[in-house]
Structure formats: C-alpha cells, structure tokens
Amino acid sequence: MIDINNLYFKYGKNELFSNLQLSVDSGNIYGLLGKNGAGKSTLLKIISGMLYTDKGNCKVKDISSFKRLPQFLEDLYYLPEEFYLPPLKSSEYETIYGDLYPSFDKEKFREYLVEFDLNPDSEKRLSKFSLGQKKKYLLAFGLASGTSLLLLDEPTNGLDIPSKRQFRRLVAMAMSDNRTIIISTHQVKDVENLIDPVIILDNGKILFNETMEKINTELSVSVEKELNPEALYTEENLSGFTTVTKNSTGEEGEIDLEILFNTVVASGNKIQSLFSGEV
C-alpha cells in the first residue's frame, strides 16, 4: 500500500527525517505513535502529498504522492488535527465534496452520522457545530468516502468518552481487506484495542513497526517486587515494578500500548535486536 524509501525532510535548516524507511500493508489499522514533535503529522502530510521531500520517495499503490494525481487524491482521505468546516449545511457539503470520491457511499454516511448522534437532515451550518460535532462529522464523511487509504491525525481529540467508543466501533465497521487506516495519536488508551500493527516514531526515526501478535510473542510484562537486571524496561508503581522482559515462556502475553511505547523509546536498540532475532 505505502512504500517510503530513503526519505529526507527538513524544516528550514532543521532535519526531521534522514533516510526514513517505512512499509505499510493493506487491510490493517496502523497506529502511529510518538511524542509531540516526533514528526507524526509531518509524515502523514508527506504520505498525502501535502509536503514534498528533499530527497527520497513516497509511493501509495505505486503512485508517487508528490505528483498528487487525480487517481491518487480520489482514493485517499486525510483528516488533519486542525481543520476547517465551511458555513454549509450537511446536504450541501455532501453534494460538493462527496463527488470528489467515486466510491463515496451516501447511505453509509447517513448511517455513520446517526451512530455519532448527528442529524443527517439538520439545517444547521457546519461552522456552527461544536468542536466534537465537527470532528465526528468529518470522521463519518471519511469513513463513508470509500477510499482505500485513510489518514487520521489525532482523531479522538475533542471527542467525549461515548464518542470515542462510537469512533472505535465505526472504524472497525468500516474496515475491509482492501482498506488501510493510519491513526496518528498520543492518546494510546483511546485506540488500545483497535490498532494493529504499531509504528513508533521518535526523533524523526521509525523505531518500531510490528504486529501485536509478534509483540505479545516477544515481550512479557509482569509486576515484580524487586528490580530485574534482565528487564528491557522498568516502571515503578504502588505494587512494585512493572517489568518488561523477553518472553521466554512460548505463550502469547499481553502488553498495553503505553508500556510498549515507553519500552521502545527507552530501549530502542535492545528492542530492535530482539525483534530482528539477533538476541
């Protein structure tokens, strides 16, 4: 689906990406995790063709994103963290923008709006919606667009707790083997049981790109009373120490995304060696 090779990118004189490599397959909901400023939003903009690189290439279904060809744009939906909704009624927005996507499904759009507790026949101008309503409206539109690639930057920002649950349900409903969704977020708890595989970006580098099956096969998490010298990562808590070690039991474990992220960022080289089979 997406192939990024030897990609370099700078903001002015400040280099963000250097020889970045990334491969993304179809039929998955990827989680793109990273600290603020790690380059998550920039990476999504590069994939969407909104930013051009200094060197290297980015292809989506063998089409260069930098060319922004019509067949590329009509098969991609990008929802940035900061967005604008014009003073149009829902029906007007649907007519104008829905025609940009050949596979846009009007019935599913209405269905998703109802699931998000939004009235498809409302006469209210979209610009008058609350932040949460605007976000849900654009999420519903994106899921109904029928595009094979969706890029969602911090999609749960501005959503209340019930809306976050609705979001997870609708994303799962809208998935198919021919579709790929990349969710960039630092609110990992909001997408804990939704994303797979996990991509971790730190300081402009891809530290990690693995499936949850592989993660839970290779890593084990336990709470121990004392520090474990073999730990890949340790976090002190009220019960002792949350400890991440190499899984030597042969049984698939379970690790939450927050602990996984902290482990990878703190022990990047050890984790990369473990997952590459070097240790």
Q: For the residues of 97-162, what is the DSSP string, one character each?
A: HHTT-TT--HHHHHHHHHHTT--TT--S-GGGS-HHHHHHHHHHHHHHS--SEEEEESTTTT--HH
> Within 13 A of 19's CA, how many CA atoms are on the CB side?
0
Walk across the sheet containing 219-224 and list its strands: 219-224, 240-246, 233-237
Predicted pLDDT of residue 251: 80
Q: Can you tell me the distance from the alpha carbon of 67 to that of 63, in angstroms, rounded to the nearest whole number?
A: 8
Confidence of residue 278 (pLDDT cuts 50, 70, 90): low
Per residue in 202-230, pLDDT (tens digit) is 888 899 999 999 999 999 999 999 889 98
Domains (range + CATH), the chain: 2-200 (3.40.50.300), 212-275 (no CATH)
Per residue in 67-99, pLDDT (tens digit) is 999 999 999 999 999 999 999 999 999 999 999
Residue 156: pLDDT over 70: yes
Confidence of residue 274 (pLDDT cuts 50, 70, 90): confident
Tokens 């609350």, residue located? 130
Predicted pLDDT of residue 260: 94
Tokens 């654009």, residue located? 138
* Kind and range of the H or E run holding 152: strand 149-153
Tokens 């209340």, residue located? 160
How long, in residues, is the chain? 279
